[in-house]
Structure 1
Amino acid sequence: MLLTAIIIYLAITVAVGAWASKLVKNSNDFVLAGRSLPLFLSASALFATWFGSETIFGASSVFLEEGLQGVMEDPFGGALCLILFGMFYLRPMYRMGVLTIGDVFKKAFGKQVEFFLQPFFMVPVFFGYVAAQLVALSLIFGTVTELSLLQGIILSAGIVVIYTFLGGMWAISITDFIQTAMIVIGLLWVTVMISQEAGGVNEILSKAPEGSFQFFPDAGFTSWLNYFGAWIILGLGSIPSQDIYQRVMSAKSEKVAVQSTYLAGGFYLTFGLLPLFIALGAKVLYPELYLENKQMLLPSMVLAHGGLPVQIIFFGALISAIMSTASSGLLAPAALISENLIRPIFRKKLRDFHFLWILRCSVVFVALVATYMASRDSNIYELVAGASILLLVSLFAPLTAGLYWKKSLQNRGAPLHVYRYECVLDLR
């Protein structure tokens, strides 16, 4: 019955992608949903940006070993990224009206810099990111079926590619809203179940290993340096990402875009802590499952000890979170490859109809590379962390300089003080 429910859910997701294809009239619709998303779709899409395998599988297993000190990157860094993006980066980029974040670098530093950044820094980070989601989906399929890891990876890639290929950002945004609802309901339901079986929230928290809830590091330069580094890997490293850019810029107005970043940041931190609590409760109640496979603790616990309704809701939430992250992870590099690498070759000779098909073919290409990487490395948390670190060390500083350095703005005709003034208003 659980497998049947999962198949039905996947079929609905693909059907939504097919329906969303009717809304895709041009490349702008495919990449940015025509810049017409209302607040509820924009916020849910941003919330689902990273709420995938690394939050539910990776972060929960790391938390059990290292406590809060081990999960500063996610969910805390993820929430920080959304809020900082809304405060300091969103407005100047939204007003550019460009398709990708690569175009932002082109406006700030010129075509040569933008073209150099694409193949070495902007595009490669998404291969490992998507690979992590494919591994996670495969683990879920392997839990309820007899599929091997590789078979599950191939199946997962095929499903995500279909609805992303058809509907682009429209399909991602609509399915994100449905998937966000599934995530919230599923995590809350399992949290209540775990609390009741363990004798209450306080009982679970009292059995946590010593130091599990230590938020700040011990005294010492090295400890604080590592602590700061954990915050900024995702908190600053994902700011120059096409993934978050395309979700924010799909909002129907600048005001809606700003509001969606704040709402999504709050939701991300709130619900990002629930998998940590659930994992702690599962370890207390079922230590044998924890010792068997730390990454699969939560699904194994629900499958072994939860009733059918709980199983359907929880696995629906898991699949929702991972598919949402994977689909946007496919579209982001596809947009960069098509807009900033392929399109300049044809200059103005390329019609939008043909460019739209180049975008779709690029989605398939990214999926093939990610599938290969997923078959080579199955550590979810490491796959995602590696992607964020590359963005941080290569693109964060140039993007910030490009938006706030006077010389990079003079060709855009906008005084520097305008952006600084608006950021101050946001902080107030």
Structure 2
Amino acid sequence: MNFVLIGIAAFILIQMAIGFIVSRLIKTEDDYLLAGRRLGVPLATFSIFATWFGAESCIGSAGAAYDEGLGGVSSDPFGYALCIFIVGVLFATKFWNMKLTTIADFVRLRYSRKAERLCAVLMIPSSFFWTAAQIRAFGTILSSTTEITLALAIGVATGVVIVYTAFGGMLADVITDFIQGCIIIVGLVLLFIPVISEPNSFDHISKTISLHTQHNSSSLLTTAEHWLIPICGSIFAQELISRVLSSRSGNVARTSSLIASGMYVLVGMIPLSIGLIGARLIPGIDNSEQILPAMAHQYLSPEMYILFSGAIISSILSTVDSTLLAISGLTSHNILLPLKPTITETQKVKIERSVVVIGGLSASLLAFYADGVYQLVKDASSFGSAGIFIIIFFGMYTKAGNERSAIAALLGGALWWIVAYYIVEFEYSYISSLLFSSLLFYTTHFYKSKVSVDNIK
């Protein structure tokens, strides 16, 4: 009898049950996309943490530390934690006070409806890549712990996340995030205790760091490229901002973001440390991303391994349900619903649920044909985000810019990154796209704005 499979199945059924129960509380678009704007600090904090702490935060950072030491883990956990911290300090209260539904609403208020729609169109692929990455990771775990094929496992994974996200919306999302966040922490701590208790474990960490530091000759620009992708690429992600907007006050939004950033660093240090220690204890692994499961197999009992597997699955589910809601919010609220402004709240929710289903099914196709998880995640943080960062950051803190400059920065930044990254294979594609977006934004800002900057006050 496969007890790991039984444990996974039980965990999945609990998630689906929560979605069905919560669905009865959903009456309006705010209920579905923002949990009625009534989250307190505990739920908001755990939801922000669990949403960002995906499979790559566990498996990817451990593998990067195994291969490259601390030099390989600048983005996760440190870059993403800093991203969440900046949102808490600079933006959480401001966004909440504006009563936005999505981050693209800010672009409409500050610039125009056209800029809003373009912003949403550029943000949707990012969430789409994230969804596909997490679905594939979920399917890979199901396939490796059972006898079913990867294709069938991806199908099962897709069905699970679509069902409880479509029914329960944001409220089901944050409740399951709280459960999943607790399981993530417990599962990683259970593995960390026996690993760190190994003789000379701190010496292993020091030697791995020292070894890779001697061979790390990254330039300042390369380091900046690695840091700016998670920070500028994710700071205005709908998955993060939706938690801010779902809080019951601006102070709750700010406090939750700051606490979540600290949690992210503390918990993120666990797989990082395991990767550093594993480089000395289990050298020569062909696929470094297998170091975390390999250490779990070696140090955990079968019962504890079930809980650890639940922690990894929790990290996946807590991300993928958020990305599906982000796709739904941006597609429905910012693109489809403005075409029919007179429809009822019930009809809005039906449309948003339909988009969740369509988005999940489409992402599963990408997950099936993709070569792996982590390139999808990297592309998700980079695609189109340079222009989005420029127009929102400067739109909030300066009076420069109008519809034309916003559209120029959005299109120019996205096209520059695509050409620089995929065609030219330029090493600093993201930094250069930020600079190009800034140039376009400021060279066109002298045109008279159609929308007053006072709209965002």
TM-score (norm 2): 0.84
How far does residue 379 in structure 1 lie from its aligned partner after superposition? 2.4
Question: Take 1:56 and 1:150, find their aligned partners in 2: how far apart are those partners?
Answer: 23
1:260 is aligned to: 256
Which of the numbers 72, 75, 87 marks the counterpart of 2:74?
72
CA deviations over 1:161-207 (Å, ceiling 9, x no partner): 111011110011000111111011111110012223x3253243245
Does the CA-based 8 Å contact 1:334-1:359 persist in structure 2?
yes
Contact 2:394 2:400 in 1 (8 A): no
- 1:349 Cα deviation after fit: 2.1
Give, in whole Å, the separation in 1 of the partners of 2:310 and 2:278.
Answer: 19
Kept in 2, the 8 Å contact 1:282–1:301? The answer is yes
Between the aligned partners of 2:244 and 2:138, the Cα distance in structure 1 is 26
Q: Secondary structure at the match of 1:335?
A: helix
What is the aligned counterpart of 1:351 among 330, 337, 344?
Answer: 344
Q: CA deviation at 1:28?
A: 0.4
* Distance in structure 2 (CA, Å) of the matches to 1:389 and 1:260: 25
> What's 1:420 paired with?
none
- Tell me what 1:169 maps to: 170
Q: Is the 8 A contact 1:240 1:391 kept in 2?
A: no
Q: Which residue of 1 aligns with 2:395?
A: 402
2:292 corresponding residue in structure 1: 298
Q: Percent identity?
A: 33
Q: Which amino acid aligns with 1:184?
A: I
Matched, 1:321 2:315: yes
Q: Match for residue 441 of structure 2?
A: none
What CA distance in whole angstroms lies between the structure 2 residues aligned with 1:377 and 1:60?
22
Q: Report the equivalent of 1:279.
A: 275
Equivalent residue, structure 2, for 1:374: 367
Give the structure 1 partner of residue 201 of structure 2. Answer: 201
How far residue 267 of structure 1 moved from its aligned partner, in angstroms, is 0.5
**CA offset digits 1:238-282 (Å, max 9, x no partner):** 112111111111111110100001000000011111111223334
SS at match of 2:73: helix
Tell me by how many angstroms 1:360 deviates.
0.4
AA partner of residue 247 (structure 1): R
Match of 2:380 in 1: 387
Residues 2-151 of structure 1 mapped to structure 2, 5 A cutoff: 2-119=4-121, 121-151=122-152
Give the alignment of 1:154-165 within 5 angstroms: 154-165=155-166
Change (3 A) 1:359 1:210: same
Distance of 1:107 and 1:367 partners within structure 2: 30
- 1:395-424 deviation digits (Å, cap 9, x = unpaired): 100111221222678454566xxxxxxxxx
Which residues of 2 match residues 403-418 of structure 1 at below 5 A?
403-406=396-399, 410-413=452-455
Partner of 2:306: 312
Amino acid at match of 2:335: L
Q: Which residue of 2 aligns with 1:224?
A: 220
Letter in 1 for 2:71: Q
3-state SS of paired residue (1:199): coil
CA contact (8 A) 1:217 1:227 kept: no
Contact 2:11–2:310 under 8 Å retained in 1: yes
Which residue, out of 320, 338, 341, partners 2:332?
338
C-alpha change, 1:149 and 1:207, in structure 2 (3 Å) is: farther
The count of residues paired between Structure 1 and Structure 2 equals: 406
RMSD (CA atoms): 2.0
Could you tell me which residue of structure 2 aligns to residue 425 of structure 1?
Answer: none
Task: Give the drift of 1:284.
Answer: 3.3
Counterpart secondary structure, 2:57: helix
- Alpha-carbon distance between aligned partners in 2 of 1:135 and 1:75, rounded to the nearest angstrom: 21
8 Å CA contact retained: 1:29, 1:35: yes
CA 1:385/1:205 → structure 2, altered by over 3 Å: closer, same or farther? same
1:16-56 Cα distance to aligned partner (Å, 9 max, x none): 11112122121101101011001000000011122011111
Q: Any unmatched runs of 5+ in structure 2?
A: 402-450
Amino acid at match of 1:126: S
Amino acid in the other structure paired with 2:281: L
1:193-223 C-alpha deviation (Å, 9 max, x unpaired): 2223x32532432452644468x975xxx71
2:242 aligns with 246
Larger RCO (alpha carbons 8 Å, 6+ apart): 1
Give the Cα separation in 2 of the matches to 1:232 and 1:209. 23
CA drift at 1:304:
5.4
Summarize the Cα distance change of 1:391–1:280 in structure 2 as closer, same or farther, 3 Å threshold: same
Distance in 2 separating the partners of 1:48 and 1:391 = 24
Question: Aligned partner of 1:355: which letter?
Answer: K
- Contact in 1 for aligned 2:132/2:376 (Cα 8 Å): yes
Could you say if the C-alpha distance between residues 151 and 50 of structure 1 is closer, same or farther in structure 2, counting changes exceeding 3 Å? same
Match of 1:190 in 2: 191
Counterpart of 1:321, as a letter, is S
Give the deviation of 1:116 after TM superposition. Answer: 2.1
| SS of equivalent residue, structure 1 residue 406 | coil
Output the amino acid matched with 2:9.
I
